[in-house]
Amino acid sequence: MSQVKRKRRSVDGVLILNKPLTFSSNAALQKVRWLFNANKAGHTGSLDPLATGVLPICFGEATKFSQYLLNADKRYEVVMQLGITTATGDAEGQVLEQKPVNCTEQDLLAVLPRFRGEITQIPPMYSAIKKDGQPLYKLARAGEVVDREPRQITIDELELLSFEGDKARLVVSCSKGTYIRTLVEDIGQVLGCGAHVAMLCRTEAGPFHLEQAIDLETLIELQEKSGSEALDQFLLPVDAGLLHWPCLELTEHTSYYWLHGQPVRVPEAPLNTYIRVRDHQGRFIGIGEVANDGRLAPKRLIQNS
């Protein structure tokens, strides 16, 4: 007999998952979606399989705003393994070269300032960036190396937490598009001994912190015990990633027209910036932008049940 297909349910909100080791971001997403039995879900920024930490997962209406989390700054703790370079830039890859580690903690501290601020990175071959429609990691697995365009990124914080033997632990706060593997490799190259990522944990993604994150094991245990609906207690509101934006509350009259796609006049609103919008009952109904004529135009609307 064929299995009866599960009827998925409508789920809206944001889950902060502590992505487990060895899971790809997509595998973690699909597992969580299955546990919630949700119609629609997406993650907001990939983590490598050997990385752990903050992976925001958006459900339902929250997926409309995932792009703003993709663009958010990130914060990491990373352990550099000095003296060894690998094909992937992390512990998963084939060892390419081993060198003695003659640098000291002071040598590393002297190098770090050149990697702070606006710098240029060449994305690694083992990345999801596409070249002629093919992800680079697929080309890399086939033994191909292609030219990659350098990228401008910003490192807001780069500090040494500890230095023991041939390992160094760093904290990094950076802009979107930063590859920590590339940063570690570049630092290792300047030191002359090479390096790769031995451990990586994302501790912040935009407004979300590791302390908020839920372990996959917790979700599995609760779902098995109490069902998918019990997991909803871990969901943050749809606009949880936008709470640092200015907010406007409309009247019942203006809410009606705004939700039908019409700009409405609002008093003393900031111009030319995205704004969270709530209706007269305080419910989040979407995001908009105020034009120079003082009218708030809808950009993304959500459906409240």
Q: Is 48 a catalytic residue?
A: yes
What is the distance between the alpha carbons of residues 298 and 255, in angstroms, rounded to a whole number? 11
Q: Quick one: tokens of 213?
A: 């994150």
Using CA atoms, how far residue 281 sits from 44, 250, 251, in Å, is: 29, 9, 9
Nearest to 32 by CA among 46, 19, 22, 48: 19
- Whether the Cβ atoms of residue 46 and residue 178 lie closer than 8 Å to each other: no
- Whether the Cβ atoms of residue 102 and residue 221 lie closer than 8 Å to each other: no
What is the distance between the alpha carbons of residues 100 and 83, in angstroms, rounded to a whole number? 6
Q: Where are the alpha helices (DSSP H) in 159-270?
A: 180-191, 216-226, 252-259
Q: Which of the following is catalytic: 12, 48, 186, 239?
A: 48
Distance of CA 188 to the CA centre of its chain: 25
- Whether the Cβ atoms of residue 122 and residue 136 lie closer than 8 Å to each other: no
- Whether the Cβ atoms of residue 277 and residue 296 lie closer than 8 Å to each other: yes
What is the distance between the alpha carbons of residues 196 and 127, in angstroms, rounded to a whole number? 15
Tell me which residues are annotated as active site. 48
